[in-house]
Structures are given as C-alpha cells and as structure tokens.
C-alpha cells in the first residue's frame, strides 16, 4: 500500500501525516508513506485544497485533516 500526504508542510498536513502514522502503528499494517509537497504533483491529482490523503493513487480526502478513526475506516 502506498499512502501520499499532499500538502506544502502546513500544520494541518503534518497532523494528517501523524494520524496516518498512528493508524499504521495501531493496526500493524505496512505501507509506504510519502509527503508530496510539489505543487505540480499535487495538481496532477486535481486537488485544489490541502491537506489531501491519497491511497494507492486514489484521492480519499482533500481539504481536511482526517481523524485517526476516519483513516481507519479507509484502510
């Protein structure tokens, strides 16, 4: 599984990254987690607001920080 956190490094982006890491640790699942801060790459996903969560190439959420519980539902 590949998880991408799209955003320019703002506090909300960092919180989403932390929440993803927490879910992975709790669940014991393995995933490649990548922070994407390049605007060109972010726009390739047609994301207009960050942070955004992409799992295996599919945008799951944009413009909000998902809670740990919300992320668990996506896995």
Q: Averaged over 55-59, what is the pLDDT? A: 96
Whether 36 sits among the annotated catalytic residues: the reply is: no
Select which of 1, 2, 9, 10 is catalytic.
Answer: 10
Q: How is the chain split into domains, by residue range?
A: 2-74
What's the pTM?
Answer: 0.91
CATH 3.40.30.10 describes domain 2-74? yes
In b/e form, how buried is each residue of 1-37, taking b as 16+ CB within 10 angstroms?
eebbbbbeeeeebeebbebbbebbeeeeeebeeebbe
Name the pLDDT band for 75 (thresholds 50, 70, 90).
Answer: confident
pLDDT value for 45? 96
Active-site residue, from 13, 16, 20, 53: 13
Render pLDDT for 28-56 as a digit per residue (tens, 0 to 9): 999 999 999 999 999 999 999 999 999 99
Mean pLDDT of the chain: 95
Helices and strands (H and E) in the chain: how many? 3, 4
The radius of gyration of the chain's CA atoms, rounded to the nearest angstrom, is 11
Annotation says 10 is catalytic:
yes
pLDDT of residue 70: 96
């Amino acid at each position: 599984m590949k998880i991408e956190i799209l955003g320019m490094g703002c506090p909300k982006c960092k919180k989403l990254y932390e929440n993803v890491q927490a879910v992975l640790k709790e669940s014991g699942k393995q995933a490649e987690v990548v922070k994407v801060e390049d605007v060109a790459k972010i726009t390739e996903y047609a994301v207009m607001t960050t942070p955004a969560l992409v799992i295996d190439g599919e945008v799951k959420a944009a413009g909000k920080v998902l809670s740990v519980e919300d992320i668990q539902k996506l896995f």
